[in-house]
Amino acid sequence: MIIAKNKAAHNSGEKLIKPAAFEMARILFGPDAVTKLKDIPLSNDSISRRISELSSDILKQLIERINKSKCRISIQLDESTDISNVCQLVSYVRFVDDENIIDEFLFCLEMDGHTRGEDIFNIFDNFMKTNKIQWDKVGSICTDGAPAMIGHQSGLVTRIKDLVPDIVTRHCALHKYALCSKTMCSSLRETLNTIVKVINYIRSRPLNHRIFQTLCEDGCNTCDGIQGQLRIYLSPLL
Instruction: Of 116-120, 160-164, 185-189, give the range with the top mean pLDDT.
Output: 160-164
Q: List helix spans (H) across the chain.
A: 2-5, 12, 18-29, 31-37, 44-68, 117-130, 147-150, 156-163, 173-182, 186-204, 206-222, 227-234
Q: Is residue 222 domain-resident?
A: no
Do 43 and 106 lie in one domain? The reply is no
Is there a single domain that holds both residue 197 and residue 152? no
d(CA 184, CA 178): 10
At 226, the pLDDT band (50, 70, 90 cuts) reads: very low
Question: Looking at residue 150, which CATH number applies to its domain?
Answer: 3.30.420
- The reply to whether 44 falls in a domain is yes
- Whether residues 103 and 82 fall in one domain: yes
Are residues 112 and 16 located together in one domain of the fold?
no
Q: Are the beta carbons of 91 and 161 closer than 8 angstroms?
A: no
Q: How many domains does the chain have?
A: 3
Check whether residue 205 and residue 160 sit in a common domain: no
Domain that holds residue 86: 70-177
Rounded CA-CA distance 39/222 in Å is 59
With respect to residue 103, please indicate whether it lies within any of the assigned structural domains: yes
Mean pLDDT taken over the chain:
82
Digit-coded pLDDT (tens) for 72-93: 999 998 888 878 788 888 999 9
Final residue of a domain: which of 158, 177, 196?
177
CA distance 6 to 47: 13
Residues 200 and 173 occupy one common structural domain: no
Which pLDDT score is estimated for 126?
92
Cα–Cα dist 232/115, whole Å: 39
pLDDT, tens only, 5-20: 777 787 787 888 888 8
233 vs 121, residue with greater confidence? 121
Is 232 inside any structural domain? no
In terms of domains, do 74 and 173 share one?
yes
